[in-house]
Amino acid sequence: MKIKPGYMIREIAKNHVVVPVGDATVDFNGMITLNDTGAFLWKQLLEDNTVENLTSELINEYDIDEKTAKRDVFEFVEKLKDADLID
């Protein structure tokens, strides 16, 4: 799975903001604000990735336990699926 084309992430005033560009503005009107963890996972999803790999990367980046990492990745991916932002 990976982020659909047409979305850019930028850091603005210490906040991570995702905005649609080009054709994506037709499907998604607005912007998304992410915390540091969300921005980290978003960047991992710019390339094709798996839930297992995202969990592993999250554990390595934030030194958290596997149960917490799995839960966080699952919740984040589900929100992206609900918003139709990932393939």
Q: What is the pLDDT of residues 45-62, one digit of tens each?
A: 999 999 999 999 999 999
Structural domain of 56: 7-82
Residues 64, 60: Cα–Cα separation, whole Å:
8
- C-alpha distances (whole Å) from 26 to each of 21, 23, 82, 86 are 9, 6, 17, 16
Looking at the structure of the chain, the number of domains it has is 1
Token pair recorded at residue 2: 């990976």
Place of tokens 């210490």: 14
Residue 64 within any structural domain of the chain: yes
Residue 2 within any structural domain of the chain: no
pLDDT in tens, 67-85: 999 999 999 999 999 999 9
Residue 50 within any structural domain of the chain: yes
Token pair recorded at residue 19: 């905005």
pTM of the model: 0.92
Partners of 19 in the β-ladder: 8
Residue 87 within any structural domain of the chain: no
Residue 1 within any structural domain of the chain: no
Residue 42 within any structural domain of the chain: yes
